[in-house]
Structure 1
Amino acid sequence: MTALTVPAGIDHAAVTQLLAELIEIPSVNPAYDAASPGENMLGDAVGELCRSFGCTVTTTDVVDGRRNTLARLTSATSEKSLLIEAHLDTVSLPTARTNDRQLDMSRAEVRGDRMYGRGACDVKGGLTAALLAMQQLAAQPLRSLDVVLLGAIDEEYQFRGVTSYIAEHLTDQHGPNAAIVLEPTQLQVVHEHHGVLRVEIGITGRAAHTSRPEEGRNAILGALRVIDHLEAWNDRSGGRIMAVTTVSGGTAINIVPESCAFGVDLRVLPWEDPHEVLATMVEEINDRAGDGLSVTVTQLLLDAGMATPAQTPIVRAALRSGGEDEAPARVPFGTDGSKLARAGVPTIVFGPGSIDQAHADDEWVDLRDVTMAAERIVAIARSLDAEDLHAPITSSGAP
C-alpha cells in the first residue's frame, strides 16, 4: 500500500507534498483505460491517512471490486454531520504531447505556484484540501458536528460511487445534515448547477436517385429542420444550454439520404425535471422533419441539476468563510452534488482550480488556492458546529 505522509498544519509545504503524492497514485477510471487498476490504491491510501488522524474508516464494494472509502471524524456529541465528497477517479492520461511542456502527467511537477499532473485540478487538489482540513479538525475536535469524508469512485463515468453511498446511507433519516462536493469552482460557493439530457435523434426517410430527388424523402434536410426548430425552442427556455455535437447520414453522394442521426447535449436548468424536458422535446419535434419522414429520440443520459436555497446553513457558512463580498454561484456543468441534493442533503459544490484546467493535457491547480480551500473547509465545519442544522429550510425553487 502507498503510504501518504503530510506535515502537521495547513501551509504551502504540506499542500505541495500531499498533492504530489496523491497525483502519483494512479486512479484512472477503467472506463477510459481498460488496463487501469482503478481507484482502490488511492482510496486505501486516503483511508490509512485518515486513520492516522483518528477517523473511523470503512470501505464498500461498488462495482468490479472498486471501493468507496468513508472516513468519519467523530465529535464530542455527534448530534449532526457534514459530508465532504471527493471523487477518486480521473480521466485518462494524455496519449500525445501536443504542447511545449512535454509533461508526464502521471507524475507531479511544480512550476511556480502551479502543480501539474493528472487529477491536480479534478479533483486531487480538492481532496488534498479536505485531508488537511480533516487533520486540522482532528487536532482541535468539534463539539457536535461529525465530519465524514467520502472518497467516491466513478464520478467521471456513471456516478456509481455516490449513488452507492446514497443507497447505503441515505435510506433512513440519519444521513448527513449538509454536504460539500469537491470540484474545481475557483473557490466559488456553487449552490446551483445545471442537469444534463443527452439524446440521439434519428430521422428516417426514403432513398432515391439524385437525378430524381422528388421521389425520395431527404433525411438530412429533415434533420436540419428539426435542429433549427430545437434551437428556436431552446432560445425560449430561459437559460438552458444546447449543443448539437454529432451527426451522421447518407450513403453516397448520388443517393438521396434515407437516414440521418444527430446527438444533442442539453444542459437543463437546476430546478427542472429532465424527464419533463425530454417529454416536451419529443412533442416539439414530432412533426418537424417534414412529410414522409419519421423521428425517433433515444435517451443516452439523463441527470437532474442541483438547486440548494441560498439561505441554507451550508451555503451561508461557506460564504462567510470567503468574506463579506462573496455571493453564491451557478455553474453549467454537472457533479455528484445533484444526487446528494435530490436525496435530501443540502449541498454545495466548492473547490480549488478551474473547470478550464480539468481533463486538460497539461492539467494544473494553483497551490495557493488549495491552501485557501483547506482553510475555508475548516472554517465551514466550525461554523456549522455552532449552528442548528435541523431547522427546516423552504426551497426557493426557480427564480
Structure 2
Amino acid sequence: MPPAPPTSCLELLQAMVRFDSVTPRTSGRPDAEQPLGAYVAGLASGWGLAVTELHVPGGAPNVLVTGPRQPDAPWWLFDSHLDTVGIEGMTIDPLGAHIEGGRLYGRGACDTKGTGAAMLWALREAAAAGTAPANLALLFTVGEEARQVGARAFLERDLAKLGWSPAAVVVGEPTQMNVVRAANGYVRIRLATHGRAAHSSSPEQGLNAISTMARAVTAIEDQYIAGLDATHPLTGRSTCSINVIRGGSEHNVVPPRCEVTIDHRLTPGQDGELALAGIRAALDALAARDNRLEYSFDDVETAPPMGPELNGPLSEHVASVLNAAGIASTVHGAPYTTNANHYGGAGLKCVVLGPGDIAQAHTKDEWISLEQLQLGVQGYRALMESLPQA
C-alpha cells in the first residue's frame, strides 16, 4: 500500500527513507531506485509539476521534475540522488525513519534523501506561489554511489535534447548549507596480477599471483604514492591507497590470479590520464626487473576534479542569497566526489549544497537533524526565488 501523501517535508523524507534504494552495485538489483523514483514522480505530478523519466542504460530511470515554464527565463537545475550505500551492519532500523531527539534516523536520511525531500518540497512551494523568476528543474538521479551513472547518462544522452541548458546547477549533498565550489575527483583501478595454478605441494610448478601482487603493491606505494605532493587550498591533498584485495580459491592451490582496487583522489589541476600513466610506469619498471610480473587494468573508473574557477561567481551568489534568507553560509571546497564533478566537467556552473553533515553520511546510525532539514527547504526555496546569476 503506497504511503499517504505527505503534508510536510518531514513526512516526505520519512516516506523516502522507507524505500530500500541501496545502490545497484551493492544490492545486486539493477532497478533498485525505481520504486522510490516512481513515488516522487507520482507526488510531483499530483502537485501539477511536469515529470519526465529519462532512461539510464542498465538501470532505473532518472526522474526530471520541472515547474511552470517561463519563456526566455534562465534555468536552475537541482540534483539529488535516489540511491544509498548499503545497510549491512547498521545499528538502527535502516528503513524505519524514526524521529528522536530532533533527528530523523535511517539510511539515506543524510546522504542524500534529505536534500531530495527539501528540494522537492521547495519546488512545490515555489511553483504553487508563482514566485520563481527563473525556470526550475529538479533531477533525481540514480547510481551516484557507484560511478555516478545517472548524472553521466543525463549529460551524455539527455541534456542536449531538452531544449534548454541550466545557467546554474545545485547538487544536493550534506554540507550543513555551506557552499562547495571545488571538489576532488578520482581514478579507481581494478588491478589484476596473473600467475599459474599448481598444487601447493609443488608450488614451484606454478606462479603465485598473490606473491606477485605483493611486489606490485610495494612498487606502487614506493615509486608512485610516496611521490604524491599535489595539494589544493580548497580540497586538500591528493591521496592514493590500495583498499581491496582478492585472491586465491583453495588452501592447497597456488593462486593464478589476484586483484586489488586502487582509489586515487585527484585535486583540481591533476589529470586522471597522467595518474594512470604514473601507476603504470611503476608497474612497468618492476616488470623490467621481474619477468614474473604479468598484470592488467581490468577496470578503470574516473571522475574529473571540480576546479573553483568556473564556479566562483555562482558560489558567492548562492552564499549571498542564503545569508540574506537568514542561513549562515560560507564558501569552501571538499575532498570527496559527487555528481557535481561531472556537471563541472561538462562546462556547467555548479555548486554543492545541502542540509545535514557529511560526518553522518554512510554511518551505522545515519541521521539528519530536523533543523537542518528545515534550513534545506528554506535555502533551496530562496535560491528558486532568485535568478541563477549574481
TM-score by shorter chain over 0.5? yes
Q: What is aligned with 2:223?
A: 229
Q: What is aligned with 1:296?
A: 295
Contact 2:193 / 2:259 at 8 angstroms: preserved in 1? Answer: yes
Deviates more, 1:119-128 or 1:149-158: 149-158
Superposed counterparts of 1:247-262, under 5 Å: 247=245, 261-262=259-260
Superposed counterparts of 1:44-63, under 5 Å: 44-63=38-57
Distance in 2, matches of 1:32 and 1:247, equals 17
Per the TM alignment, residue 366 of structure 1 is displaced from its structure 2 partner at its CA by 1.0
Per the TM alignment, residue 106 of structure 1 is displaced from its structure 2 partner at its CA by 1.4
Q: What is aligned with 1:174?
A: 164
For the structure 1 residues 154 and 4, does the alpha-carbon distance in structure 2 shift closer, same or farther, using more than 3 Å as the test? farther
Q: What is aligned with 1:73?
A: 67
Distance in 2, matches of 1:253 and 1:226, equals 28
Superposed counterparts of 1:74-113, under 5 Å: 74-94=68-88, 96=89, 99=91, 103-113=92-102
Specify which of 282, 290, 312 is matched with residue 280 of structure 2.
282
Name the aligned partner's letter for residue 130 of structure 1: M
Q: What is aligned with 2:349?
A: 346
Name the aligned partner's letter for residue 139 of structure 1: A
Name the aligned partner's letter for residue 359 of structure 1: H
Q: Deviations along 1:180-230, whole A, 9 cap, x unmatched?
A: 1111222221111111112244567999x9xxx9xx997334542432222
Deviates more, 1:274-283 or 1:120-129: 274-283
Contact 1:51 / 1:57 at 8 angstroms: preserved in 2? Answer: yes
1:41 paired with 2:29, answer no
1:131 paired with 2:131, answer no
Per the TM alignment, residue 40 of structure 1 is displaced from its structure 2 partner at its CA by 2.1
Contact 1:201 / 1:295 at 8 angstroms: preserved in 2? Answer: no
For the structure 1 residues 35 and 160, does the alpha-carbon distance in structure 2 shift closer, same or farther, using more than 3 Å as the test? closer
Distance in 2, matches of 1:31 and 1:305, equals 23
Contact 2:126 / 2:132 at 8 angstroms: preserved in 1? Answer: no
Q: Deviations along 1:288-322, whole A, 9 cap, x unmatched?
A: 46722436351432221222437644312221134
Q: TM-score, normalised by structure 2?
A: 0.82
Q: Deviations along 1:14-41, whole A, 9 cap, x unmatched?
A: 2322211111233233332246862222
For the structure 1 residues 61 and 3, does the alpha-carbon distance in structure 2 shift closer, same or farther, using more than 3 Å as the test? farther
Specify which of 195, 200, 225 is matched with residue 185 of structure 2.
195
Q: What is aligned with 1:241?
A: 239
Per the TM alignment, residue 146 of structure 1 is displaced from its structure 2 partner at its CA by 0.6
SS at match of 1:149: strand
Distance in 2, matches of 1:256 and 1:17, equals 56
Distance in 2, matches of 1:39 and 1:246, equals 26
Name the aligned partner's letter for residue 366 of structure 1: S
Distance in 1, matches of 2:6 and 2:251, equals 64
Superposed counterparts of 1:320-331, under 5 Å: 320-323=320-323, 326-331=329-334
Distance in 2, matches of 1:69 and 1:379, equals 23
Q: What is aligned with 2:234?
A: none
Distance in 2, matches of 1:68 and 1:256, equals 46
Q: What is aligned with 1:11?
A: none
Distance in 2, matches of 1:283 and 1:184, equals 38
Per the TM alignment, residue 265 of structure 1 is displaced from its structure 2 partner at its CA by 0.9
For the structure 1 residues 316 and 75, does the alpha-carbon distance in structure 2 shift closer, same or farther, using more than 3 Å as the test? farther
Q: What is aligned with 1:184?
A: 174
Specify which of 359, 370, 388 is matched with residue 356 of structure 1.
359
Per the TM alignment, residue 341 of structure 1 is displaced from its structure 2 partner at its CA by 1.6
1:335 paired with 2:329, answer no
Distance in 2, matches of 1:291 and 1:270, equals 34
Per the TM alignment, residue 287 of structure 1 is displaced from its structure 2 partner at its CA by 1.1
CA RMSD, Structure 1 to Structure 2 (Å): 3.5
Name the aligned partner's letter for residue 268 of structure 1: L
Name the aligned partner's letter for residue 263 of structure 2: D
Contact 1:3 / 1:48 at 8 angstroms: preserved in 2? Answer: no
Unaligned 5+ runs, structure 2: 232-236
For the structure 1 residues 370 and 143, does the alpha-carbon distance in structure 2 shift closer, same or farther, using more than 3 Å as the test? closer
SS at match of 1:121: coil
Q: What is aligned with 2:315?
A: 315
Distance in 2, matches of 1:169 and 1:350, equals 23
Contact 2:23 / 2:84 at 8 angstroms: preserved in 1? Answer: yes
Q: What is aligned with 1:393?
A: none
